[in-house]
Chain A
Amino acid sequence: MSKQINVALIGNPNTGKTSVFNALTGLNQKVGNYPGITVEKKEGICKLPRGVKAHIIDLPGTYSLNASSLDENVVIELLLNKNDKDFPDIAVVVSDVENLKRNLLLFTQIKDLEIPTLLVINMADRMRYKGISLDIDYLEKQLQTKIALVSTRKKEGIDTLKQLISNYKDLSITPCLNASEIDKDYFDSLRHAFPNQLLYKLWLVITQDVNFGKTDRNEIEAVANFKTKSKIDLKRLQQKETIKRYQFINHVLKVGQTIDISQAKDLRTKLDRILTHRVWGYLIFFLILLTIFQAIYDWSSVPMDFIDNTFALLSEWVKDKLPSGAFTNLLAEGIIPGLGGIVIFIPQIAFLFLFISVLEESGYMSRVVFLMDRIMRRFGLSGKSIVPLISGTACAIPAIMATRNIESWKERLITILVTPFTTCSARLPVYLIIIALVIPEGRILGLSYQALTLMLLYLIGFLTAIISAAILNKILKIKSKTFFVVEMPNYKLPLFKNVVLTVVEKTKAFIFGAGKIILAISIVLWFLASYGPGDNFNDAEAIVKKQYSNENLSQEDLQHHIAAHKLEHSFIGITGRTIEPLIRPLGYDWKIGIAIVSSFAAREVFVGTLATIYSVGNDDEATIKNRMAAEVNPILGGPLFTFASGISLLLFYAFAMQCMSTLAVVKRETNSWKWPVLQLTIMSGFAYFVALIAFQFLK
């Protein structure tokens, strides 16, 4: 049996590491999370020459082995834990030809861990254009490694890279630097205390604030407690180490690299002059945002309608073709509409991730961060918060995960807490159906009232996020050093393959993440609505027939009354009526109550629940909207969905924290129950309050 070798891909952000990963693994990759944390874990399989298989892990981008974020912790944790099943047989450091100097810093650190290390110089096709020439033989000798010149864009050098990986045993493991040089006395005492350990590894354990797995725990604790220096002294030594490494690198590059500056034609300067301009920059950003929204709501309506119709037809077909019975009903009324409710979001989510990944890949997103930082800071946010706030319009879950690169804990926490206010795509079906019900069709200055209402709701979401950020900024007494260092990468034309893989992967994550919950809820709801306790439910037919025995009802009307009676006395009906007193002041009846309760798990369940409630036992083809319009308010009479109750519902859904998955992610990202619980209480309390006021004033 041929052994599978572990390969760790490591590199600075923006070096095209993911492109190298995609080139090596293609479609043989999967994405997951590291156990217990939400950091993304990407791995894939690559076939090497001579039948060897490589298991490749794409580690999060990092500038050095001095971790300052959860993402970066993952890198050191893996490299220091020999017992990890993913511990690399070979580390492949990916660098970019234009930033070789800085990239080599990370390279020398990994080399010093005595792991076989290979250097990939990516974007080699740009060398001539940038006037750079490299003496590869000299560099290989000085850095004691093998170098693969690669261009993922031109698909060059990948075979050589595979060849080099398969020959990993030939790589030297001699360190580049002697760590003890930075403070001889200190390192001597360290060596004395832990004679069997690699010195540089000890040094990393001491200086990093990392939770090193389960293995080696005792020993690592002992090392971590080896404190003879204050934090600031350690930092000074780290600085000294950095200087030492740069001295070595500069020395190597002096001979190994020549740059003819006159050759460099700078596209970056020209683009930056416009894109980061104080007027044009904002205007362009605004136009890009407009295009994204246009795509999400306009362009995706065609595939969404198609999906909607397909599922409706499928449900009817199942009812027609399968023998009638409980299972068929479950399939046609529970599972298929439930699945449809998830699949319908695919176009929107895919469009959003398409745009975000293009903006990230091209290097533009960093410019937005630069432009927005000062403005966002007024509200206690960081320029980097703009990415989560934009992503939040698709789904808060990836948005909250995107806060990880915000360095300051306070800014990051505030971003996490306010992001769920931005209007995610799960609110859209709720908004659309209620707007269609209660907002008249008409136009003002050529704009439809309905479209304006929708726009207003988005604005409300964004403004609430910003304002609550400002409030949190005042209340939260968290001291955290705010530092802000953003690399401004070179502009690049996004690689089609990378963009497609990102879109597919993120959409899949959403569908399977949210999908499971939504599907489970639709099934449970169907059961609760189809069964009930006691005679009132079981003898519904007899009771209703008796009740209407004097009236001459058509068969159809009779069936309808029976169905309604059954629903009212089903498990779900009982639950709904129990909470009715609580929601009556907001203008809702028990049916809406059921929908609100069930959609605490995920907002989009609201429409599905109403669909289930209204379609149980009812065969006519009226759409949910018509059924809702026909609903009568049990107390006041007249239509249930009026302008007042409609606005109240819209506002409730704008503010309430109704997404279990988001709460789960917040718990994981903040590592405490305190924040998600606070978020749930405050947001939902506020939603109730606003909806109450709205209804009472408008009714």
Chain B
Amino acid sequence: METTLANLKRGERAIIRDVSSREIPLKLLEMGCLPGNFVELVQLAPFKDPMYLNINGSHVAIRKETAVHILIEKVDE
């Protein structure tokens, strides 16, 4: 099922399908947020924002407003 990263739930894993390069900082891409890579939601701050993610082995926190520009496909486990 294709959706955005903002809809990932705690502990869920997904594959990144597409990133909007207009909206996403290059830094995030360099940290591994690229199509084809795995992403997992590690922890959510209160009010579900920011999101603490494991992207391709990089542990990063990003805001929800960024996460909506990353298309993902959830992986069933």
Contact = CB atoms under 8 A, between A and B. Distances in A.
Interface of A: 63-64, 66, 68, 98-99, 101-102, 105, 232, 235-236, 238-239, 242-243, 246, 268-269, 272-273, 276, 278, 366, 369-371, 373-374, 383, 407, 481-490
A488 B62 CA distance: 10
A576 B7 CA distance: 65
B66 A66 contact: no
A373 B31 contact: no
B45 A485 contact: no
A214 B22 CA distance: 33
Interface of B: 21-22, 24-32, 34, 42-43, 45-47, 49-50, 52, 56-63, 65-66
B55 to A, nearest CB: 10
Given A102-B32, A373-B50, A485-B60, A407 B45 contact: no
11 contacts: A63-B30, A101-B32, A102-B56, A232-B22, A235-B21, A236-B21, A272-B43, A276-B45, A483-B27, A487-B31, A488-B42
A243 B16 CA distance: 13
Contacts of A483: 24-25, 27-28, 62-63, 66
A468 B29 CA distance: 35
A481 B27 CA distance: 14
Contacts of B61: 366, 369-370, 373, 484-486, 488
A314 B24 CA distance: 61
B11 to A, nearest CB: 11
Q: Give the residue among B26, B29, B31 with the most A Cβ atoms within 10 A.
A: B26
A242 B42 contact: no
B32 to A, nearest CB: 6
The secondary-structure label for the interface of chain A is helix
B50 A239 contact: no
A125 B61 CA distance: 27
Contacts of B58: 99, 102, 487
Given A101-B57, A272-B42, A371-B45, 14 more contacts: A63-B27, A64-B26, A235-B21, A236-B21, A239-B26, A242-B30, A273-B43, A370-B52, A373-B49, A374-B46, A407-B25, A485-B61, A487-B58, A488-B42
Contacts of A243: 34
Contact of B57 (A99, A105, A366): A99
A383 B25 contact: no
A68 B26 contact: yes
A430 to B, nearest CB: 38
Nearest to B37: A246
B57 A373 contact: no
Contacts of B60: 485-488
Given A272-B42, A484-B62, A64 B30 contact: yes
Contacts of A366: 61
Given A235-B26, A483-B66, A278 B57 contact: no
Contacts of B24: 483
Nearest to B19: A239
Contacts of B52: 272, 276, 370, 488
Nearest to A373: B50
Contacts of A268: 59
B45 A278 contact: yes
A66 B21 contact: no
Nearest to A276: B43
A378 to B, nearest CB: 10
Contacts of A102: 30-32, 56-58
Q: Give the residue among B21, B56, B65 with the most A Cβ atoms within 10 A.
A: B21
A250 to B, nearest CB: 10
A96 to B, nearest CB: 11
Nearest to A72: B27
Contact of B45 (A238, A242, A373, A487): A373
A63 B31 contact: yes
A485 B21 contact: no
Nearest to A232: B22
Given A99-B57, A487-B59, A239 B45 contact: no
A383 B59 CA distance: 17
Contacts of A482: 63, 65
A265 to B, nearest CB: 16
Nearest to B50: A373
B46 A485 contact: no
A489 B52 CA distance: 11
B19 to A, nearest CB: 8
Contacts of B34: 239, 242-243, 246
A102 B42 CA distance: 19
Contacts of B31: 63, 102, 485, 487
B25 A68 contact: yes
A369 B52 CA distance: 11
Nearest to B46: A278
Contacts of B43: 272-273, 276, 370
Task: Pick the 3 closest A-B CB pairs, nearest first.
Answer: A488-B59, A483-B25, A486-B61
Nearest to B55: A102
B25 A239 contact: no
A189 to B, nearest CB: 23
